[in-house]
Each structure stands twice: as C-alpha cells, then as structure tokens.
Amino acid sequence: MQVSSRFTIAVHIFTCIAIAEKKYKVTSKFLASSINVNPVIIRNIVLMLKAHGLIDSRQGTSGIKIAKCPSEITLLDIFNAVESLDNGRLFSFHENPAQDCPVGSHIHSVLDGRLAQIQNALEKELKSISLVSIIEDAEAQIARDAEVANNDCSAEA
C-alpha cells in the first residue's frame, strides 16, 4: 500500500504559501515550480483543499492563501482533504475471498480489527502534528542554510 503523493504535495503547498507569501504572490505556477510538478496537479489539489476550507484562492486576485491559522490545521485535516479513502478505510480489502477455503472464510475476521487499529494509530499521529510545526521546521532549516551560505561567503572574502 502506498498513499498517493497528493498528501506530501499538499503539505508542500501549505509550507510554501506560509513562507513565500510574505514576498511573492503565490500562484499555482509558483507552487508548481517549487514542487516541480505540472500546475494542473497543483490546481487540482488546491481545489480539494479549498473544498475543505483549508485554502482560499481567487483567480486573478491576491493569489493562494491559507484559510485558517496554521496552528488550527493538522496533518490529518490535510490528509482527509486530499486522499480519497474507500468508505473511509485506509486499507483496501479484497471483498470476496473464497468462502470454501478455511483461510478465505476467516481472513476478514482476522484482519479487519487489526487494520482498523493501524488506521486509528495513523490518524491519531497525523492529528497530533499541526501545520505550524512543519512551517516552523522549514523556516528554521532555511535560516540555517542562509547562515551557512553567509559564513561561506565571508570566508571567501
């Protein structure tokens, strides 16, 4: 199983908006250049985030903005906005195992509870991480890189 890249792209979008909006008008083209994907992919994900009230965007105006305070947005909110789960379930399950097989007739009862437990653990962890912590970590790393670059330049002088 692999979660699609929509989730990590969405987190990248939020982080880029938070950091870049102080200097630039953030557009899907701007975001696409940072994420290195087609702007259509960005627009589709932005529409998903907008439908969940997480992003505000109006064509031709102020660009793409975060609709809520980043401390009020969790990674679970972002995940739920961009990942389409089958009936709310993270794990897909083959629905018709052979009932005349001893394993097939019991596999659901053996796995269903465990898969729900795993999904609950994932959701709990995603809910515990706020977007603001991601943004703060990114800003700190960017600042460290800038400091290293400044030290390298002064050493060359």
Question: How far is it, in rounded angstroms, from Cα 70 to Cα 101?
Answer: 51
Measured in degrees and rounded to the nearest 5, phi and psi for residue 75 equal -65, -30
Residues 8-25 pLDDT 10s = 999 999 999 999 998 989
Total of domains in the chain: 1
Residue ranges of the alpha helices (H) in 1-130? 6-20, 28-35, 39-51, 75-82, 107-127
| pLDDT in the model for residue 132 | 97
Residues 70-96 pLDDT 10s = 999 999 999 999 998 777 888 877 878
DSSP-derived secondary structure letter, 130: B
Task: Residue 103: give its domain's CATH number.
Answer: 1.10.10.10
Nearest to 84 by CA among 129, 36, 45, 37: 45
pLDDT of residue 156 exceeding 70: no
The stretch 112-133 carries a mean pLDDT of 95
Q: What mean pLDDT value characterizes the chain?
A: 90
Where in the sequence is the domain holding 118, given as residue range(s)?
5-155
